[in-house]
Amino acid sequence: MKLPLALVLAFSACSAQPAKTLVMFGARPGDAERLGGSVVKEYRARGYQVLYADMGGPELNLHIDLTTATRRSQAQIAVSKFLQEHNPEITITYCMGEPSVVNHTVADLVYRSWENARGKGARLGQLWFRVPDAKAGIISEPRFRRIFEPVRQGQYFVVADAGSPPPQPPELRPAPPPSYKPPSGRRPVVMGIAAHADDFELAFGGTFAKLTREGWQGVYIIATNNTAGCELGAYNPSRPGGYFNIQKVRGPFPSDALETIQIRQEETRHAAAVFGVEPIFLNLNETFAWLGRQEIYMDDPRWALIQAPGNGIVTDGPENKGFELATALMKRYQPDIVLTMLVGETNPEHGETADLAYRAFARAAREGAHVGQLWMNLAGRWQYLERVRLDPDASVDVTAELPLTLKALAQHVSQNGGDPPLRPQQIGDKYFEHFVVIDATGAKK
C-alpha cells in the first residue's frame, strides 16, 4: 500500500528529529560514567543520547592542573564549546563544595561554562550537581544541605534550568541579628579572610569594625598578593581632590605585577590601620597579572616570565601552601567568628577564597582548635547559583560603622581613587551585612 505523500513527509520529519542528549562531565578517565549511576539506564530507555566527557579524556583533552580549572580561559572555552555543539537537555557533574578539591573546581568550571554557553545561544535544559556520598566538605554541612534540598531530584541537585526563569529572591529584609556568644574567660577573636585588597571592607568591613569596637581582637587576612587590579591610571589628577595616586605623580599610567603587589599591599596596610590592626597576607597568586603593560593569564605561555612571588594560585588554595598557612592561623588565633566570602561567588577568586577558608576552618576544628562559627557574606546575593534560594542566617546592622568602613575603603586609592562606593545593603534608613552561618560543631565531623 502506497502511503500518502503528507504522511511520508511527517514520518521523515519525525525520524530526522535529533535525540535528546544527556551529558556527564567528570574529571579523570571513567569519572563521567560513574556520575550517571542508574539514571543513565532510565534516560536511555526514554530515548536520550548519553555522552560522557572527562576533562582529561579525548572529548575535551584539557592538559591542565584541574585544581586551577575554574579560572582557566581555555578550559571554560572548551567546555562551553562542547555544550554549544551538543545542546544537552540535561548536564550532570559533581557538586560545588565537595571534599575533593578537583571535583569541586570541575563543578565550578562546568557551572560557569554552562552559563557561558547559554549566553552564546546554546539550547540547554537543566544543570544537575551529583549529591556527594562523602560525609565531608561544605556540602555536608547541615546549613548547606538545607540550602540545596528544595531543588533536590533523587541523587541530584537541579541548580540551573534554562527552560524556566529562576525563582524570585525574597523581599529584601534583614535576618535576625547574630546570637552567637563567645565563651567567657578570654578576649574573643574575629578573623576575616578576603580574596583581594579592598574585598575585606566591601564584604564585611562593617561587621569587623563593630566587633573590634566592642573589644574583640581582630585578625585581618588577605588571601592574594594582588598581582593585578591597580587602576591608578584611571584616576585623573584633574578630578576634585587633586592627586589620586599614592606616589603623588601625575598619571595616568598602568602598573605591572610587581608594582601592583607593592601598591595594593601598602594600601591594605593603611586600610587595616583604620581598624587598628596589621594585615596578614597568604600571598597566593591571582590568576592573571600585568607583564609590563600586557594582561597575562596563568594559561598564557608568558605567565612564567612574571615570576611573581607567592605560594601558589588562589583557585587551588586547598592544594598549596596557602591552605597550611590558613590552617596554622586558625590554630594560632582560635577565632570565635571567621568572616569570609561565599563559595560559588561570581568572581572565582572570591569563591575559591571562601572554599579555602572553610577547609582551613574545618580542619582546625577537627584537630582540636577552638573555633566557633564561619560567617559567609552574601554580598547582596539572595539567589544562589540560579535556582537555589539563599536566605541569610544573620544580618548585622553596620549603620554606625559605615563612616569607619568607608574611611578604610578609601585607603585603596588604586581601586576607587579615594572616593569609595557605598556597598552595604540599605533597608530603610539602615545598612546591613548578611551572612550564612556554619557552626564548628558540624565541621568537626
pLDDT tens-digit series, residues 201-216: 999 999 999 999 999 9
Average pLDDT of every residue of the chain = 85
Poorest-pLDDT segment among 139-153, 204-218, 226-240, 325-339: 226-240
Q: Where are the alpha helices (DSSP H) in 257-392?
A: 257-274, 303-306, 321-333, 348-366
Distance, CA of 383 to CA of 364 (rounded, Å): 30
Mean pLDDT of 97-119: 93
Which residues neighbour 390 within 8 Å (Cβ) at sequence distance 6 or greater?
147, 378, 381, 382, 383, 384, 436
Mean pLDDT of 238-244: 45
Provide the pLDDT for residue 273.
Answer: 97
Is the pLDDT assigned to residue 314 strictly greater than 70? yes
Which of the two residues, 241 and 394, has the higher pLDDT score?
A: 394
Between 2.40.50.140, 3.30.70.360, 3.40.50.10320, 3.60.15.10, what CATH number should domain 19-161 receive?
Answer: 3.40.50.10320
Provide the pLDDT for residue 417.
Answer: 76
Provide the pLDDT for residue 26.
Answer: 95
Provide the pLDDT for residue 254.
Answer: 56
Provide the pLDDT for residue 183.
Answer: 79
Provide the pLDDT for residue 57.
Answer: 85
Distance, CA of 284 to CA of 310 (rounded, Å): 5
Q: pLDDT-derived band of residue 184, with 50, 70 and 90 as boundaries?
A: confident
Domain boundaries, the chain: 19-161, 189-443
Is the pLDDT assigned to residue 188 strictly greater than 80? yes
Task: For residue 2, give the DSSP letter.
Answer: P
CATH 3.40.50.10320 fits 189-443, yes or no: yes
The pTM for the full model equals 0.88
Which of the two residues, 160 and 250, has the higher pLDDT score?
A: 160
Provide the pLDDT for residue 238.
Answer: 46
State phi, psi for 121 to the nearest 5 degrees.
100, 5
Is the pLDDT assigned to residue 81 strictly greater than 90? yes
DSSP assignments along 36-84, one per residue: HTTHHHHHHHTT-EEEEEETTSTTT---S-GGGGGG-HHHHHHHHHHHH
Is the pLDDT assigned to residue 59 strictly greater than 90? no
- Indicate the residue type of 365: A
Is the pLDDT assigned to residue 292 strictly greater than 80? no
Provide the pLDDT for residue 428.
Answer: 85
Are 19-161 and 189-443 equal in CATH topology? yes
Provide the pLDDT for residue 189.
Answer: 97
Provide the pLDDT for residue 211.
Answer: 97
Provide the pLDDT for residue 9.
Answer: 38
What tens digit of pLDDT does each residue of 381-408 get? 566 788 888 889 999 999 999 999 999 9
